[in-house]
Structure 1
Amino acid sequence: MTEITTKNAWVTATWLEVIQSRFQGLLTAPSAAERYSKPRQLYAWMREDILSARVAAGTRLPSSRQLWQSLPMGRNAVLDALGQLLADDLIESHPRRGLFVKSMPMVAQRSLPETISLPVTQDLWLSQRAQGINQQGAPWGPMRGPFAVGVPDLSRFPLESWHRYLNHYQKNPKLEWQGYVANGGELSLRQAIAEHLLLTRGIHCTPAQVIITANTQQSIKLMAELLADVGDLAIMESPGYGGAYAALSAAGLTVVPCPVDAEGLCVEARATAQWATAALCYITPSHQYPLGSVMSLARRQALLQLASQHDLCILEDDYDGEFRYAGPPLLSLYGLAQKTDSLAKVVYLGTFSKSLFPAVQIAYMVVPTSWVPSVVAWQARQYREPGYAKQAALAAWMHDGHFSRHCQRQKQRYQARSRYISQRWYAAFGDAFPLTGEQAGLHLCAHFPAGIDDVLIAQALMTCGIYARPLSSYSIAPREAHHDTDWNRQLAQRCQRRGLVIGFGDVDDKMLPSMCSLLVKTITQAIANGLP
């Protein structure tokens, strides 16, 4: 049952406004106004409000001066109405404080309960699309806690510095920011992002090509709606990001899983006919989510060639590109397409949810120049941009060097955690359960052999307060009609993995040794006790 608190819902000023509006209604209906004298009408309304508990006991009445100055009646008429309420023992006078609605335990008051119970619908009918999304991408455990996945170190974010910038722009906004703005984002932030991408990801783009959104899922859904029709195919990695699956499915596309190995997306695993008919391909080439592999140059070139050949749009999600621990920053797929003069259509997706914090709700896309008007127009119709004051604050924060300094500090912390967890893991399990993804990001991926049920392992860990996620929960179920072929059975097996995804972004460094010990101990005991 859902409860809504109603006690003290009406205040004195609101009550006065309601009474004023009632009298205004009488002035437009002379026949009703003639029925009662004004003092009697005032008395009848206030009495009904009190008895029906629209006005709670203890509420202060408007003063007689407020009433006669606001209503079409004299002071004596107001005093007559209030006097009648006093005589009925519905209100009481407190010296120097005024008149108040009286508590009436002995009066048969038609009171409302302090809470209104609303029935919760149990038989809500969900569309097949919603059912599929819920089944495929259901959250696993709490979003925060030891080894939870996808959350940065919130305790280390410099909130004081951020709030100074945010407060400044919220207190001094441009007038246009308060209306329906449809520019694709604040120009200063788009400029800052374009400069950042050129320096770190090898992407040459103008600020106009950068479109600001609220989150990556919105970016994916926006592009899917703009570039594909309902029922079109969208190829994505499996295991892969459940949020991408949800966004593509919500846009009405049929998601086709494609397996991943140490070199990234297995381009050759999909039939040529499917590449030829697909509208989109969603991919995380720089740090595959959740396996952590990096797509090889040969695979990147092959994918760009397929996209160019079949007029396929690639959505490149670089969700944690600021945190790479081995070697120089990788050239993005978007940058590679520019460098090789590829005709492939690539949309680069980025977000600040990992580099800052998820609640900031600012992400972005880099789209081809000729697409900008259509993308901005569609965004204005469907979603709108995040608040412009917040965007301007982030632009200034980046311009003054706070963003790069924060990312550098976080990068050092995350790298140290990743190394420590890896050392403890290999000391306990050796090569029996290898790890991947150590070169970047906020998580590691442990791989189990087929005989171990990763869901049961994750459930055992959850009872101990550890929220690593089973790798099998990231697998995308194939939706093809011809499952009975040997080829598709083998493909489905390649898309299914068992293991654990271990997040370390939001882990307390002081607790890390003990949590690692508990992680290892729980897994060891579960396997020793015969847990499948």
Structure 2
Amino acid sequence: MRRTDKAALLPIAVDKKSSEPMHRQLYDQIRELILTHRLSAGERLPSTRSLAKDMALSRNTVATAFDQLLAEGYLEGRVGAGSFVSDLLPDEIRPSSTEHQSEETGTSRRGLSNRGERLAALWRGRSKRTPAFAPGLPAIDEFPFDVWSRLMARAWRNPPIELLAHAEPAGYRPLREAIANYLRTARAVRCEADQVIIVSGAQQGIGLAANVLLDDGDSALIEEPGYPGIRGALLAAGAQLIPVPVDEEGLEIDKAEDLAPDAKLVCVAPSHQYPLGVTMSLARRLRLLEWASQKDGWVIEDDYDSEFRYSGRPLAALQGLDRDNRVVYIGSFSKVMFPSLRLGYIVVPEDLTDSFRMARAALDDHPSTIAQPALAKFIEDGYFTAHLRRMRKLYDSRRCTLSELLEKHLGEYVTIESAEAGMHLLIRFNEKLIKMTSDMDATDRAQEKGISVTPLSAFHYLEDINDHYHGLLLGYAAVKEKDMEKAVLILKDAILAK
């Protein structure tokens, strides 16, 4: 079949004033061009970069539309060549008279809900995560797997029947007791084991809390910029997301009155905001709790990596300041142990424990008990805190080394944000570098060279962002110091490539 040598010119346009998301407008129009054979099989499409530039859109918007077309089989990607109209377009994909059709294009929607569309649009794909410099990736090779394997073997050598049958919706009782004891000592969280519920990660915990505390259409405040995984969990619960700016003191809660006076819930990471790394001030924390009390609202505290603070004493959790039982506290073991463990926890107000347990059972019956007994012993016998102490020292050294190397090799082009906690550094592009490239394009080139970074602009819920939001998140926890300079030089080449 004949292939075109040049990318097709697409007769499409988006209405930026329309309530229809721009990525959906692109998807619908390109799909229609394919179905009506105005784009023929094998025809090459423009790159996401060039189409975004031509249409004055963010590359993220175009990439989302292309990703959906690729996933549904309308397009096929070829390494090093681009995106092409698929050769095989079965007759079955043509809309029939019995299918629901959109008024604008006549193409089938197949009953997908608005919520389903919004959730699907959040997925950006997952590229290979390499030690340099994937944010949130711990030093897995430093984890004491010899101890862990012994604890797992001991738990399952002759397991009691309660581990093999249906478990408690809230999780394995000894693990909940171990977590409560740890949180009271290390994070100043006020809780008992009955308030702890085991979940499969922070996102499931946020989703559970939102389902219990919100009705469909209720407004939920999120940090702008903020962790994208929170958006999916809240959207799945039917929440209307309201982004609130984050400054050097954390989420600007006083702006919420103008943005969403009827908001019932806010989701924050006060100890170490992601991705900016700022710590919420005491005054802002107290104001946030005051807002929740005045609004009869709720605060979800995402305490995802508070264990890693490198100067001063660890900050107490926001939940420990709450005297009105308005905070749902959420933690996870993914970053402090290893990601595939998929175990986290939530601490709920005492008067809501029964409601949360019943909702947990209704949504997911009970969490897997495979790793819970071993994790309980890992915490009870002191291995967990010993591992944290070792990793805190190791990560601090790697953080300092990376900061020095970035200043040495990229200081002319970026500003390195100070980070006294966490597992990543943030570098912001200066005006000189912004004129040369975007953080999205730099990320793509770095990935091609085997370097994992995350663009700062991807963390913004609003598409209309300014140049200040161009930057990269660089995780250092999994990178050996002897390998850092080589990785930084590769990253520099990727950022400055033309």
Normalised by the length of structure 2, the TM-score is 0.74
Secondary structure at the aligned position of 2:116 is classed as helix
* Structure whose alpha-carbon radius of gyration is higher: 1
> In the aligned structure 2, how far is the partner of 1:505 from the partner of 1:130?
35
Asked if structure 2 preserves the Cα contact closer than 8 Å seen for 1:437 and 1:443, the reply is no
Asked if structure 2 preserves the Cα contact closer than 8 Å seen for 1:140 and 1:469, the reply is no
What is the deviation of 1:195?
Answer: 1.3
Pick the aligned partner of 1:391 from 364, 367, 372: 372
Q: Which residue of 2 aligns with 1:435?
A: 416
Pick the aligned partner of 2:220 from 234, 241, 259: 234
1:352 matched to 2:337 = no
**CA deviations over 1:260-313 (Å, ceiling 9, x no partner):** 122111222333461x41121111110101111111111111111111100111
Q: Which residue of 2 aligns with 1:504?
A: 476
Change in Cα spacing, 1:403 to 1:495, as seen in structure 2 (3 Å) is: farther
What is the deviation of 1:495?
Answer: 11
> In the aligned structure 2, how far is the partner of 1:271 from the partner of 1:496?
25
Q: Which residue of 2 aligns with 1:297?
A: 282
What is the deviation of 1:470?
Answer: 0.6
Q: Which residue of 2 aligns with 1:400?
A: 381
Q: Which residue of 1 aligns with 2:295?
A: 310
What is the deviation of 1:445?
Answer: 1.1
Q: Which amino acid aligns with 2:382?
A: G
Q: Which residue of 1 aligns with 2:485?
A: 513
Asked if structure 1 preserves the Cα contact closer than 8 Å seen for 2:221 and 2:267, the reply is yes
> In the aligned structure 2, how far is the partner of 1:287 from the partner of 1:494?
23
**CA deviations over 1:393-436 (Å, ceiling 9, x no partner):** 11111111111111111111111111111111122343752223
Query: Which of 424-433 and 348-357 deviates more?
Result: 424-433
Q: Which residue of 2 aligns with 1:463?
A: 448
Q: Which residue of 2 aligns with 1:149?
A: 135
Asked if structure 1 preserves the Cα contact closer than 8 Å seen for 2:169 and 2:360, the reply is no
Pick the aligned partner of 1:265 from 241, 245, 251: 251
What is the deviation of 1:215?
Answer: 0.8
Q: Which residue of 1 aligns with 2:151?
A: 165
> In the aligned structure 2, how far is the partner of 1:225 from the partner of 1:378?
8
Q: Which residue of 2 aligns with 1:212?
A: 198
**CA deviations over 1:316-365 (Å, ceiling 9, x no partner):** 0000111111110101110122xxx3x25000100000111111111001
Secondary structure at the aligned position of 2:329 is classed as strand
| Counterpart mapping for 1:435-454 below 5 A | 435-436=416-417, 438-449=419-430, 451=434, 452-454=437-439
Secondary structure at the aligned position of 1:418 is classed as helix
What is the deviation of 1:145?
Answer: 4.1
Q: Which amino acid aligns with 1:330?
A: L
Q: Which amino acid aligns with 2:355?
A: S
What is the deviation of 1:494?
Answer: 7.5
Change in Cα spacing, 1:431 to 1:364, as seen in structure 2 (3 Å) is: farther
Q: Which residue of 2 aligns with 1:377?
A: 358
Q: Which amino acid aligns with 2:419?
A: E
Asked if structure 1 preserves the Cα contact closer than 8 Å seen for 2:398 and 2:480, the reply is no
Q: Which residue of 1 aligns with 2:37?
A: none
Q: Which residue of 2 aligns with 1:365?
A: 346
Structure 2 alignment gaps of length 5 or more: 1-89, 94-107
What is the deviation of 1:140?
Answer: 5.1
Normalised by the length of structure 1, the TM-score is 0.69
Q: Which residue of 2 aligns with 1:189?
A: 175
Pick the aligned partner of 2:237 from 251, 254, 263: 251
Asked if structure 2 preserves the Cα contact closer than 8 Å seen for 1:147 and 1:504, the reply is yes
> In the aligned structure 2, how far is the partner of 1:150 from the partner of 1:353?
9
Secondary structure at the aligned position of 1:364 is classed as strand
1:334 matched to 2:319 = yes
Q: Which residue of 1 aligns with 2:64?
A: none
Q: Which amino acid aligns with 2:458?
A: S
Q: Which residue of 2 aligns with 1:135?
A: 121
Q: Which amino acid aligns with 2:139?
A: D
> In the aligned structure 2, how far is the partner of 1:464 from the partner of 1:143?
12
Measured on the aligned residues, the alpha-carbon RMSD in Å equals 2.3
Asked if structure 2 preserves the Cα contact closer than 8 Å seen for 1:145 and 1:465, the reply is no
Asked if structure 1 preserves the Cα contact closer than 8 Å seen for 2:242 and 2:259, the reply is no
**CA deviations over 1:423-470 (Å, ceiling 9, x no partner):** 111223437522235211111111124635111111121121111011
Change in Cα spacing, 1:230 to 1:416, as seen in structure 2 (3 Å) is: same
Change in Cα spacing, 1:137 to 1:477, as seen in structure 2 (3 Å) is: farther
Q: Which residue of 2 aligns with 1:65?
A: none
> In the aligned structure 2, how far is the partner of 1:433 from the partner of 1:130?
38
Q: Which residue of 2 aligns with 1:417?
A: 398
- Equivalent residue pairs, number: 390
Asked if structure 2 preserves the Cα contact closer than 8 Å seen for 1:137 and 1:242, the reply is no
Pick the aligned partner of 2:309 from 321, 324, 336: 324
Q: Which amino acid aligns with 2:470?
A: R
What is the deviation of 1:137?
Answer: 4.4
Structure 1 alignment gaps of length 5 or more: 1-118, 479-491
> In the aligned structure 1, how far is the partner of 2:248 from the partner of 2:122?
24
> In the aligned structure 2, how far is the partner of 1:502 from the partner of 1:385?
36
